[in-house]
Amino acid sequence: MALALGTGAILLVVLLWELVRPTFKRAVARGREIWSLRRGASTLSGYDPGRERRAEQRARALLRSCVDERDWAMYRDLGFLRVWGERGRGKRASYAYLIYPHKPIVAYVPQTGALLNEYCVAFPDLSRPYGSSRLPDSDDVLAKWMALTADERRLIADANMHLPGRQVDPGRVRRDLLRLARWERERSVPDPRGTDRAGADPRASSGADTDVRGPDRADTLHA
C-alpha cells in the first residue's frame, strides 16, 4: 500500500514538473533578460542612487558651511533660498530672488509678492564624471547663491530671462512666499535687509498685473 502511494506521489511530482517546466524555463530566461537589461542601463547611465544620496549629503554640508545660519535654516525647512537684490543689500531691498535646486531663479518684489521674472541658468559639468553633468541639488543652489551674491549682473546676463510661469508654477511660488512669511513670523526675527513684510503676502498682487519691471538685465540692473 505504502509502496503504491509512494510511487504515485513520485509520478505525480514528475508529471507536474513536466507541466510546469516550460513555464518555469521561460520565467527564468525572462528574469535573466530583465536583470541583464537593468544592469546594462545602469552601466550606461552611471546612475547610482546611493552615490547620489551621499553626494547630496556632502553638498548640503558644503552649503551649510557657506551661507548664514538663517539662510541654511530656510533651505532646510522650506527647500529654497532667498537672496536679496543687489540694490537692497545693506538697506531695504526692492526685489529679491528665490533659488530652487535645478529650477530657474525667480525674481519677485518682497513688498507685494509680485513675481517679476524667471532666470533660467544651469551649471553643467561637461566632463560628466559619472555620466551626468548635473550637480547635486544643494551644490546647484550653492552655485547660484555664490554667483548671485558675488556678481548678480553677470549671472543675470548669462541667464535666459522669461516671464513668470514659463517653468516654475506661479501658484507654487506664491505658496512658497506664504510659507516663507509664516516661517519668518514663527522665527520672530525679521531679516533686516527685508521690509516689514519680509516674506510678503503674494495675494496682494500678481505678476501679471504689476508694472514693476524688476531686475531686468536690459534696464534696471544696468541702469
Given a contact cutoff of 8 angstroms between Cβ atoms, the answer to whether 113 and 205 are in contact is yes
Q: Is 127 near another protein (CB under 8 A)?
A: yes
Q: Is 191 near another protein (CB under 8 A)?
A: no
Q: Is 123 near another protein (CB under 8 A)?
A: yes
- Which of 32, 35, 48, 182 binds another protein (CB under 8 A)? It is 48
Terminal alpha carbon distance of the chain: 105
Q: Is 126 near another protein (CB under 8 A)?
A: yes
User: Which residue has cell 543687489?
Assistant: 86
- Which of 115, 121, 180, 181 binds another protein (CB under 8 A)? It is 121
Cross-sheet strand order for the sheet of 96-99: 81-84, 96-99, 105-108
Sign, CA dihedral 57-61-66-69, equals positive
- Which of 36, 42, 43, 132 binds another protein (CB under 8 A)? It is 132
DSSP 67: S
Q: 197 burial class (0-12, 13-18, 19+ CB within 10 angstroms)?
A: middle
Which is closer to another protein, CB of 109 or CB of 144? Answer: 144
Shortest Cβ 18–another protein spacing (Å): 50
- Binding residues (CB under 8 A) for another protein: these are 46, 48, 51-52, 54-59, 61-62, 65-68, 71, 89, 100, 102-104, 120-136, 139, 142-143, 145-147, 149-151, 154-155, 158-160, 167-169, 172
